[in-house]
A and B are shown apart, each in its own frame.
Chain A
């Protein structure tokens, strides 16, 4: 290591770095973090690229390298097919098609990249206080909205106040309220959280897809964004919009990330995936937002098309009621989990487009996931023995789900594996509106909706950069999506430790403990994580799909 590097690091530790950053550096120096984990944590704590490079040199690691982009021709308009979506108002966004369209003109403070690292975007850096309950974000200077005005802290504060307001779908209000966000200068925003949260920068990224930064004047009135022309900071600005049908966007020449190669984007909504696939096959669109592995398969080895499969933490949860019914006994739930041949199932149901799960929400690529946990494997003998011990040898139950992507095949697959262990599983497949409605219509939602109240339900969960949302809403006793009605005070206490911990060793220790508890109790079977699959015409260059359904086109070009 050269003297300059040593001096840079020591200066950084003595002046800029707080206790969290110094802990992180200690962990790196002591070999407790590998390169990948260090990068993940360093970006989360907002260390600059220069500081990260110096620290890597300090411990003898090669510096950061950035993937080279394909050379693209400037010009052209890309035609993108999206599934028909609902409202485009950011605070109301709830489906892939709408968030994909809104996310073209709209951008976020941070960005969770496909490797689950949070990186600077509209914010260039962020710093927590000692216990990660106060976070200070530095905004990028010179970012221009589509109306020509510069983005400042006032815009961020007004946007965030809208997203924690009544009727907002952003889910940020549990973490801070309107009084908790304030400007500290033209380019500095401070968030005072209700409780410490180590992964807060992730919440400001596109995984909270509602949190688009709008001009303050528009953000002050919820519901005004679309009517005002969807003014954001993104690489393309809205030219025309026909609700529920199509949109046309043109290049934002003052884009902070450099001039986008494409002249524009034409978006068409499709109802149903079959017409989307046919349109791509027929050459009427260049890029489809998302396709199931089965739909994407014909494009895989076809020179006219490109096939994309992005590993993500998106997964399915087979939730089993732990408080009542035939699955109340943990041994019975473990037996169901042991009946499944996960690698075989992944191959059959998802055509291999995914990774097998271990009945926890801890995806292997999360930095906090402890890699030492043994993978659960099919063991029919043990499953039968557990059923016998639980006096449940004639076990019968239904899996309730809805007709979405792989759900029906997935449920049928579990049904077939369960039969090998002598378990009789019935299938109850509903329409989306029934599965996610109160039952009967108008009844209390939380206590009657099928997806939260059936003996066993199969539900989809989208990609996130950290498992916080899964833990706090699906597994903790207070979670409003806790479909298995799981209550374990010990688990909740460890979850709380995990959520508050800003350092990786504490988080990793917690996920190891939680994994042990979840394997024992098995309230939820997570048998696979899915790859985000889609396809485009071969002339599309530099496109990288994102697990949350955004269609990022700033660097994309056409051959």
Chain B
């Protein structure tokens, strides 16, 4: 297992390096330049050139990358070009926000979706199965922006039960923070429910139809024991992989939800830095999300290996 984890970490480091190179490389084809982005369209070309010179953004991209990477080795994620503050000062609160939202969404979405998928799998072909499947597909097909607006209108404006924006006031206690995060978390639950529930349902159907389940029933075990001990353990394996991928999305890919609920998460920060061509901030942001994503994937791989001896032993050999 140790070798398995070390191998994964090594691969993660290579992935992060490649990620940073790709972000810098792609940025060269993004429209706009930093000076123009900071000073705006109506600034004179002289002012734009002077600012680019001042910020060093008129240097070759390789030189800029080398500077940034040299700082990174020493633990410095760089300085935002547009705001002239350390990138970490911007990324840290945004990452904290994203993790909070991801956690609340995760805690609502994953159990609800798994329970939905399990019930649908157990009631395969019945009305409950069809109801869950159709509802899941419908919510998944709806853009998160639309789902969010519907929830805001119902719970935020008409009923007035929940805050419209997700950012709780400074110094709020845990309950208040959760209250502020409920609407975006519910939006994400609706978006992800169909996907996770369908994977769980498919796993359940496969597991219920397998030889070992039939054997367990023939042994005379009660249904609840068969499902808990034999079916779920196997049926949830693909779900774990899917959930791990969604965590990456929940942390770094929620631009539309963050915009709608005016929540300053890391996805929105990365989007804005890309728009402003703020390369150090953009690359540092992508890297931070990449690290979160790789950590979650690693945890999922370990869980998967623990639940599936074939993977564990195969890797160890």
Contact = CB atoms under 8 A, between A and B. Distances in A.
Given A169-B39, A282-B152, A481-B42, A244 B269 contact: yes
B31 A441 contact: yes
A433 B261 CA distance: 24
B39 A94 contact: yes
Given A268-B167, A282-B163, A434 B83 contact: no
B60 interface: no
B43 A169 contact: yes
Given A168-B47, A278-B157, A480-B44, A284 B163 contact: yes
B272 A441 contact: no
A317 to B, nearest CB: 12
Contacts of B167: 245-246, 268
A548 to B, nearest CB: 13
B259 A272 contact: yes
Given A279-B262, A437-B32, 10 more contacts: A84-B272, A166-B54, A243-B90, A244-B90, A245-B264, A271-B268, A275-B261, A275-B262, A446-B45, A451-B41
Instruction: Kindly name the residue among B167, B259, B262, B276 whose own CB sees the greatest number of chain A CB atoms within 10 A.
Output: B262
Interface in A428-478: 431-437, 441-442, 445-446, 451
Interface in B73-118: 82-85, 89-90, 93
Contacts of B89: 243
A505 interface: no
B296 interface: no
* A interface, size bucket: 35 or more
A78 to B, nearest CB: 14
B272 A271 contact: yes
Given A441-B31, A441-B32, A169 B157 contact: no
Contact of A86 (B82, B85, B90): B82
B29 interface: yes
B262 A437 contact: no
Given A271-B259, A271-B268, A243 B85 contact: yes
A275 B41 contact: no
A442 B37 CA distance: 13
Interface of B: 29-33, 36-48, 50-51, 54, 82-85, 89-90, 93, 149, 152, 156-157, 160, 163-165, 167, 170, 258-262, 264, 268-269, 272, 275-276
Given A169-B43, A433-B32, A445-B36, A279 B164 contact: yes
Contact of B272 (A244, A431, A442, A480): A244
A168 B46 CA distance: 9
A87 B41 CA distance: 14
Contacts of A435: 41
A248 B170 CA distance: 10
Interface string A278-292: 110111100000000
A92 interface: yes
B47 A169 contact: yes
B50 A275 contact: no
A265 B83 CA distance: 22
Contacts of A242: 93, 264
Contacts of B164: 275, 278-279, 281-282, 284
A270 interface: yes
Nearest to A282: B164
Contacts of A177: none
B234 to A, nearest CB: 44
Given A243-B83, A278-B157, A436-B41, A441 B30 contact: yes
B13 to A, nearest CB: 30
A525 to B, nearest CB: 20
A445 B261 CA distance: 36
27 contacts: A86-B82, A92-B39, A94-B38, A94-B39, A94-B43, A166-B46, A169-B40, A244-B83, A245-B264, A275-B165, A278-B156, A279-B262, A282-B152, A283-B160, A284-B163, A284-B165, A431-B31, A432-B41, A434-B31, A436-B32, A436-B41, A437-B33, A441-B29, A441-B30, A442-B33, A445-B36, A451-B41
A494 to B, nearest CB: 24
Contacts of A60: none
Nearest to A444: B45
A489 interface: no
A352 interface: no
B43 to A, nearest CB: 5
A278 to B, nearest CB: 5
Contact of A92 (B38, B44, B262): B38
A223 interface: yes
A164 to B, nearest CB: 11
Contact of A244 (B51, B259, B264): B264
Instruction: Kindly name the residue among A168, A268, A276, A434 whose own CB sees the greatest number of chain B CB atoms within 10 A.
Output: A168
Contacts of A269: 262
Interface string A282-307: 11100000000000000000000000
A393 interface: no
Contacts of B45: 445-446, 480
A384 to B, nearest CB: 36
A275 to B, nearest CB: 5
Contacts of B163: 282, 284
A454 B45 CA distance: 19
A167 interface: yes
A166 B260 contact: no
A37 interface: no
A268 B262 contact: yes
A282 B260 CA distance: 13
A270 B262 contact: yes
A437 B44 CA distance: 13
Contact of B83 (A87, A95, A270): A87
**3 closest Cβ pairs, A-B complex:** A94-B40, A282-B164, A436-B41
A92 to B, nearest CB: 6
A242 B269 CA distance: 13
